[in-house]
Structure 1
Amino acid sequence: MPLPADPNLEQLRHRARALQRAVRAGDPAALARVAEHHPAGVPAEPARAGFPRNAAQLVIAREYGFAGWPRLKRHLDVVTRHRRDPDPAPPPGDAAAEFCRLACLNYDDDGPRRWAEARRLLAERPDLTSGNIWAAAAAAEPVTVARLLAGAPELAGQDGPPYGWTPLCYLAYSRLDPAVPAEPVLATARLLLDAGADPNAGFLWHGLPTPFTVLTGVFGEGEQGPGRQPRHPHSLALARLLLRAGADPNDGQALYNRMFGPDDDHLVVLFEFGLGSGDGGPWRQRLGPMVDPPAVLLHRQLDWAAAHGFADRVRLLLRHGVDARTPPAGGRTPVEVAAAHGHAEVVEVLVGSGVPRPVLRGVDALVAAVLAGDRRRVAGLLAAAVAGHPALLLRAADTGRPEAVELAAELGFEPDATVDGATALHWAAWRGHLEVARRLVRMGADLGRRDDRYHGTPEDWAGHAHRDELVDYLIVQARGRSDPSFDANSPEISD
């Protein structure tokens, strides 16, 4: 299992002491943990009273994937050096640090409001970059950066407030101006690299093991979507510059952040520079097996693409030799995943590469047929699926395919069913699937339903993701339901 966020040695020592006490007391769950992870197994009953602390520490270490306690301690030392908080408070009165905090992605409270505030602050205080290389880098001011480096070239490799990043990171994560010209950005990057900046610089967000590197910041995006975490305005040119300077293309966090949408320009660039080859780069040397090797990174990309119908990405990965035959431990092969999700085009691409065609039966066959919008194949399988997959319509909505949503509803699947407390309309709002939302509303989806985790309505989710058109649509529809005299379905209003 993975280490928790913000891991620390004292916390793990407490867990080892708790395990030691539980083993001495004969607790069955504790004994099962020892049996699974200690090479000597469970001590005989008379010896349990003397179960030593170092044995408990060994079990804890192995539960987290380390060979022993010393290796775990060395890992935590690395985490301590590179761990960063997502949104630290800047030093009081430090306008440059506050500017950097607002201008850059932090993968916590991101969004256009912060970047607009950074622009306002810089307009009020244009001098705040003059003596601060981190702010000058975030603002992409090559003249200022050149002047500061001329007096102190070592600044190119120094961490600065508020995030404890190098200047190159502030440049890469900055979203200050979506219309910034390419030349000042690239010129700033060249100055820093020529002065010795590390193109593989990065940090561990909350101490978690997948590093956020300079490339991660350049390629942007992530779980909060492109509205809140966009790629850098010159992501491809800046990425190529960094890769030529030695940035490792096997960037697990960048791959993860960009896998949610179908665009593959980041993969094309990374493959140009050796994605999938090598030993995983300097971060894997630091963190060892906590960082996935290149082959595993690409297998994960293929699995995701197969599950989400990204046929072009599947073709791209296959062209670069990614193994499509071997399933993850205990899992399905990519072609089985694609078939189960109704992605016929992906199935044909994989079968065309020599992978055996999968055979789906029973409920799996019905699920695939509904997701593919294939009415004929659905006949005779519906009753078992309704009982076994009550949230199928939500899955259809999440794919962004309105015809699948409509078919699922016609077959009796519930539009307000939830997964993790959120409905199909919540997810359509978050993803920006306007046509899916229209169909859900027409079939009676609950506009005021609040999700269980954040207690937000679909309108709240759309607003948080900056899906402005969807926000407007949901507001109009809510008014139409509350005011019988208001025609929410008028073409002039709803469309």
Structure 2
Amino acid sequence: MMSLDKLRRNAKALKKSYRAGDAAAIARVRAVLGSPHLFKHADALHVVAREAGFDSWPRLKFAVEMQAMDRAARAERLKVALYLGQAWIVEALLAAEPDLGSDNFGLQCALYDIEAVRRVLDRNPAAATRAIGVRSPILHLTYSKHFRSDPDRAGAMIAVAEALVDAGADVNDSYPFETGASHELSALYGALGHAGNLRLAEWLLEHGATPDDDESLYHATELPTLDGVKLLMRYGVKTAGTNALLRMLDFDNLDGVRLLLEYGADPNEKAPDHPSGQAMPKIPALHHAARRGRDGRFAELLLEHDADGNAVWEGRTAYAVAMLYGNLSFARALAAAGYANRLSEAEVILAGCAEGRVPDGRPLARMQLSDEEKRILTRVILWEDALDHAKALVAAGIDPNVSDEMDMTPLHLAAWAGLPAQTAWLLTLSPDLTHVNGYGGDLLSTISHGAENRLDTDLRDHVACARLALDAGAPLRQAVLDGAMDESLMAFLSDWAEAHPDRIVPR
């Protein structure tokens, strides 16, 4: 197989010939793409990949890179792909080396290779509890997303779980996500919260896994259906201290909120800090729903389940929060229930910004604002139709580069969400393009994470956000270029790196 450099040169030559009207080049392009309106370098890469027998440039690129890996590197890459759910990489690695999964017991568990697992345990039952890297065998199993690409192996997956537990593995096993951390992530969280593997999660619960692991219920609210939450409820999960109700309110899921409230979740709870040490927001559900843009139905539902409409958080009522975020539906529902109140001077200005009224003289810059008021742009910027609101806030004196609780700036948040209009505007406000957020991500890695992990990527444009960031001078680290897994973004970054090799910075 050709080198990546030669393949890229071929793509570059194809693009040049196509644009020059060369008949052979036009025929090659039409055979793959039809008659493209525009023919970009990424299109040329795609044609070269298809001619080489691959579905896309990222897949061809990985095949070439795989040839340079030794067996140990391939096995490590297989482990990562199983953990991240990168099915096509798993397929490519195993197609090239079908026995690669036999390199260690953790891979055999993650691939649901029940025959190999039984052979190992027959020889040495202690292998069931011996860690491979940072995770034990049952954790390699539960954190694997292989079931998504190979659903026919579900029976073998359960058989592996049974074999491990029969040999002494603990269904409540866990591991520290970061070296030295006191808080650990459980096997159940791996199956349910990380992998979304309801069948394996149910098996773990049936065999004694505790549902109260400080993670699973919270992350079950993020799943596409309520089945994970209902599963945990069948096994008596406790809602107190989990922040699950607030997380459910992050989504426009009235049925999910009703489910938690009817189960007994307390809308007035101010949860203690997470066992990991991460501070909880201590915000009542009404206030949180108001600032997350939930409509009046959510206010009515929360009030029906004894939410305190007079509760004060950060010096204001839920009604005031709804007004300053421009959530008029929520505010009207509270007012109808008798919970309207007079707004402060700052609240009046913020409420006006929500309606697009821009005050003169940046008055908020001279006021003593609460942390929530200072951070209001980090909430608003994620709303698709709130650009005018965001601009009014900055014109009124809100700092456009203020960070939220996880040190995510408005720019990082907008780019992660794949919102080009917001991203383009924020880039005009002198942001720090080298900023690293609390998750350890810079701007481009944050965009890459959003492209890979958001459930609504078909409605967003992470490639446009990446282009805007790079045009503004954001650094592109080699690690981001190598690690991008969204195929559209990978193709764009490869194209951009080809055209700007001097802009790539070390890992």
**TM band (smaller chain):** 0.5 to 0.7
- Aligned counterpart in structure 2 of residue 406 of structure 1, from 378, 382, 388: 388
Q: List alignment gaps of at least 5 residues for structure 2.
A: 1-69, 273-280, 333-346, 353-358, 474-507
Following superposition, the deviation at residue 241 of structure 1 comes to: 1.2
Q: Does 1:318 align with 2:224?
A: no
For residues 423 and 263 of structure 1, do their structure 2 counterparts lie closer, same or farther at Cα, with a shift above 3 Å needed? farther
Following superposition, the deviation at residue 370 of structure 1 comes to: 4.2
CA distance in 1, matches of 2:180, 2:375: 35
Following superposition, the deviation at residue 192 of structure 1 comes to: 2.6
3-state SS of 1:203 partner: strand
TM-score when normalising by structure 2: 0.56
Following superposition, the deviation at residue 260 of structure 1 comes to: 6.0
Moved more, 300-309 or 400-409: 300-309
> Which runs of structure 2 are paired with 1:226-245 in the superposition (5 Å)?
231-232=195-196, 235-245=197-207
Q: Does 1:251 align with 2:223?
A: no
- Aligned counterpart in structure 1 of residue 76 of structure 2, from 91, 98, 101: 98
- Aligned counterpart in structure 1 of residue 149 of structure 2, from 169, 174, 179: 179
CA distance in 1, matches of 2:100, 2:445: 36
Moved more, 438-447 or 310-319: 438-447
TM-score when normalising by structure 1: 0.57
For residues 147 and 439 of structure 1, do their structure 2 counterparts lie closer, same or farther at Cα, with a shift above 3 Å needed? same
Following superposition, the deviation at residue 351 of structure 1 comes to: 0.4
CA distance in 2, matches of 1:295, 1:362: 24
CA distance in 1, matches of 2:423, 2:89: 36
Deviations 1:14-35 (A, max 9, x none): xxxxxxxxxxxxxxxxxxxxxx
3-state SS of 2:170 partner: coil
> Which runs of structure 2 are paired with 1:196-211 in the superposition (5 Å)?
196-205=168-177, 206-211=179-184
Return the letter of the residue paired with 1:334: A
Following superposition, the deviation at residue 427 of structure 1 comes to: 0.2
CA RMSD of aligned residues (A): 4.2
Return the letter of the residue paired with 1:170: H
Return the letter of the residue paired with 2:264: G
> Which runs of structure 2 are paired with 1:29-428 in the superposition (5 Å)?
98=76, 101-103=79-81, 105=83, 112=86, 120-130=92-102, 132-156=104-128, 158-163=129-134, 165-175=135-145, 178-181=148-151, 182-205=154-177, 206-221=179-194, 231-232=195-196, 235-258=197-220, 264-276=226-238, 295-297=240-242, 300-306=243-249, 311-328=254-271, 331-339=282-290, 343=294, 344-358=296-310, 367-374=321-328, 382=352, 387=367, 388=369, 389-397=373-381, 400-410=382-392, 412=395, 416-419=400-403, 422-428=408-414
- Aligned counterpart in structure 1 of residue 435 of structure 2, from 433, 452, 462: 452
Following superposition, the deviation at residue 237 of structure 1 comes to: 1.0
Deviations 1:415-437 (A, max 9, x none): 8332166542320222x3x4x44
Return the letter of the residue paired with 1:438: A
Following superposition, the deviation at residue 322 of structure 1 comes to: 2.0
Aligned to 1:470: 461
Aligned to 2:446: 461
Following superposition, the deviation at residue 448 of structure 1 comes to: 7.2
For residues 385 and 347 of structure 1, do their structure 2 counterparts lie closer, same or farther at Cα, with a shift above 3 Å needed? farther
Aligned to 2:41: none
3-state SS of 1:126 partner: coil
For residues 131 and 453 of structure 1, do their structure 2 counterparts lie closer, same or farther at Cα, with a shift above 3 Å needed? closer
Following superposition, the deviation at residue 396 of structure 1 comes to: 0.9
Aligned to 1:4: none
Residue pair 1:366, 1:385 contacting (<8 A) in 2 also? no
Return the letter of the residue paired with 2:158: L
CA distance in 2, matches of 1:385, 1:346: 30
Following superposition, the deviation at residue 267 of structure 1 comes to: 1.7
CA distance in 2, matches of 1:402, 1:264: 25
Residue pair 2:401, 2:411 contacting (<8 A) in 1 also? no
Moved more, 306-315 or 186-195: 306-315
Q: List alignment gaps of at least 5 residues for structure 1.
A: 1-91, 222-230, 277-293, 483-495
Return the letter of the residue paired with 1:214: A
Aligned to 2:424: 441
Deviations 1:283-312 (A, max 9, x none): xxxxxxxxxxx6323xx2224445776544
For residues 373 and 444 of structure 1, do their structure 2 counterparts lie closer, same or farther at Cα, with a shift above 3 Å needed? farther
For residues 119 and 444 of structure 1, do their structure 2 counterparts lie closer, same or farther at Cα, with a shift above 3 Å needed? closer
Return the letter of the residue paired with 2:300: E
Return the letter of the residue paired with 2:80: L
Following superposition, the deviation at residue 130 of structure 1 comes to: 4.2
Residue pair 2:291, 2:379 contacting (<8 A) in 1 also? no
3-state SS of 2:465 partner: helix
Return the letter of the residue paired with 1:102: V
For residues 236 and 366 of structure 1, do their structure 2 counterparts lie closer, same or farther at Cα, with a shift above 3 Å needed? same
3-state SS of 2:175 partner: strand
CA distance in 2, matches of 1:266, 1:407: 36
Return the letter of the residue paired with 2:208: G
